A and B are shown apart, each in its own frame.
Chain A
């Protein structure tokens, strides 16, 4: 069964800590995404990547960075976590071109920043 795996389901961090959220997909997809999910706001795109070492900002990139050194892995980095980054983070992937809009999501990483 193909999937997107997010390494941590639940994390609790302190303000100012550096946080890494890891995501791995086994479908050889070109595109990978990080979304943030908050009640009443739906999903908002933080960053996406359409190839190794390529990245583009989404709608809410401030306070985040990403890394894609290998095709299957896409990491989200919070350089200095803040309480307003407490949220559910969803990683997704999709193939290039045809089928690009059919995203496969991971189960999510719920981050609490104290």
Chain B
């Protein structure tokens, strides 16, 4: 079945530092790829997505490019803020197709940004 592996962390950065969180996947075909974020005390929310190879998803200054050659979908941000402190999850549709929204999530990466 489909699976995803992401960098475990935790990651600790100073404000305005550059962020990369690695995510690699194993999948049949070329499924859509997602990054979800969980802020403290909240549920997950969609951060960005890419639906086909070479697509770049972007939101709130975060970017990720769907690279089929390296089966990767790394999350990047050029200058992090304290408010970006959260847990980040890479995800893709699980086995059995995409129509029902059954996502397989990575382990999550805890990001802490200090002033």
Chain A residues in contact with chain B, CB under 8 A?
4, 31, 33, 35, 40-45, 48, 50, 58, 90, 92, 94, 96-97, 100-108
What are 26 A-B pairs with beta-carbon distances under 8 A? A4-B43, A31-B101, A33-B101, A40-B8, A40-B107, A41-B107, A42-B105, A43-B105, A43-B108, A44-B105, A45-B102, A45-B103, A48-B100, A48-B101, A90-B44, A94-B101, A100-B101, A101-B34, A103-B36, A103-B44, A103-B101, A103-B103, A105-B43, A106-B43, A107-B42, A108-B43
CB-contact partner of A103 in B8, B46, B99, under 8 A: B46
Q: For chain B residues 85-115, which have a beta carbon within 8 Å of chain A?
A: 89, 93-94, 98-103, 105-108
* Secondary structure call for the A interface: strand
Cβ-closest chain B residue relative to A98: B99
Majority-rule SS of B interface residues: loop
Residues of A within 8 A of B81 (CB): none
Q: Which 8 A-B pairs have the closest CB atoms?
A: A105-B43, A100-B101, A43-B105, A94-B101, A42-B107, A42-B105, A105-B44, A107-B43
When chains A and B are docked, how far (Å) is the Cα of A108 from the Cα of B107?
Answer: 17
Number of B residues near A (Cβ < 8 Å) is 24
Chain B residues near A42: list those with CB within 8 A: 89, 105-108
B1 (CB) vs chain A CBs: closest residue: A59
Q: Is B32 an interface residue (CB 8 A)?
A: yes
Q: Which residues of B contact A31 (CB under 8 A)?
A: 100-101
A104 to B46, CA, bound (A): 8
- Asked if B45 is an interface residue, CB under 8 A from chain A, the answer is yes
B100 contacts across to A, CB distance below 8 A: 31, 48, 50, 96, 100
Bound Cα distance from A33 to B101, whole angstroms: 9
Taking A42-B106, A105-B45 as known contacts, 16 extra A-B pairs with beta carbons closer than 8 A to each other, sorted by chain A number, are A33-B101, A42-B107, A43-B44, A43-B89, A43-B103, A44-B105, A45-B103, A92-B43, A94-B101, A100-B98, A100-B99, A101-B34, A101-B101, A103-B101, A105-B43, A107-B42
